Structure 1
Amino acid sequence: MLARQYGYAVTPRPAAQMTPWALAEILASSGYRFPPWTVLTALPPLILVIVLTSPALLSGALGFPGLFLWMGLTGGGSGLILALWAGLIERRRRTRNMATMIQREPWQAWPCRAESTHQSRSHVVTRVSLLAPDHSVAAQHTVRFRMETWQAMTDGYGVLLFAGDLRFASVIADPRTRRTYLTSPTQEDAAEREGPRSSAVEDELTRQAIGWIFSQ
Structure 2
Amino acid sequence: MHEARQAQQFGYEVSPRPAADSQPAREVEGRMRAIKRDADRHARKLALLAGVTLAAVLAVQAVPMAIGPALAATVFLGLMALLFLVMFAATRGSGRQAIKAIEDRNRLLSGHAWQVWPCRVEQRAHERPKFTAKRMDEVIGVESFRDFRDGAAGHRIHLLAPDGAVFRTYFGVMSDDAWHGMADGLGAVWVCGDLRFTTLMWTPGAERMWPATPESSVPELETIGVTEDRTGDRMAEPGIVDDITRSAARSALSLWLG
Matching residue of 1:51: 55
Offset, 1:29: 5.4
Matching residue of 2:106: 99
Offset, 1:165: 2.2
Cα distance between partner residues in 1 of 2:107 and 2:216: 28
* CA-to-aligned-CA distance 1:35-69 (integer Å, 9 cap, x gap): 42221122112111112124656977334x973x4
Offset, 1:106: 0.9
Cα distance between partner residues in 2 of 1:205 and 1:75: 59
8 A contact 2:177–2:206 mirrored in 1: no
Structure ranking higher in strand proportion: 1
Q: Indicate the structure (1 or 2) with the bigger Cα radius of gyration.
A: 2
Cα distance between partner residues in 1 of 2:197 and 2:86: 31
1:62 to 71, 77, 80: 71
Structure ranking higher in helix proportion: 2
* 2:130 is equivalent to residue 115 of structure 1: no
Name the amino acid aligned to 1:173.
W
Offset, 1:141: 3.6
Cα distance between partner residues in 1 of 2:77 and 2:114: 54
Matching residue of 1:138: 168
2:201 to 172, 179, 197: 172
Offset, 1:167: 4.5
* 2:244 is equivalent to residue 208 of structure 1: yes
Q: Percent identity?
A: 17
8 A contact 2:122–2:156 mirrored in 1: yes
Indicate how the Cα distance of structure 1 residues 90 and 169 shifts in structure 2: closer, same or farther if over 3 A, else same: farther
Q: TM-score of the superposition, structure 2-length normalised?
A: 0.62
Q: Alpha carbon RMSD of aligned pairs, Å?
A: 3.7
Matching residue of 2:222: 197
Cα distance between partner residues in 2 of 1:144 and 1:82: 31
Structure 2 residue runs without a partner (length 5+) = 127-146, 227-238
Structure 1 residue runs without a partner (length 5+) = none
Offset, 1:162: 0.7
Equivalences for residues 10-89 of structure 1 within 5 A:
10-17=14-21, 19-28=22-31, 32=35, 34-54=38-58, 56=60, 61-63=70-72, 67=75, 69-70=76-77, 72-89=79-96
Matching residue of 1:185: 213
Aligned residues: 205
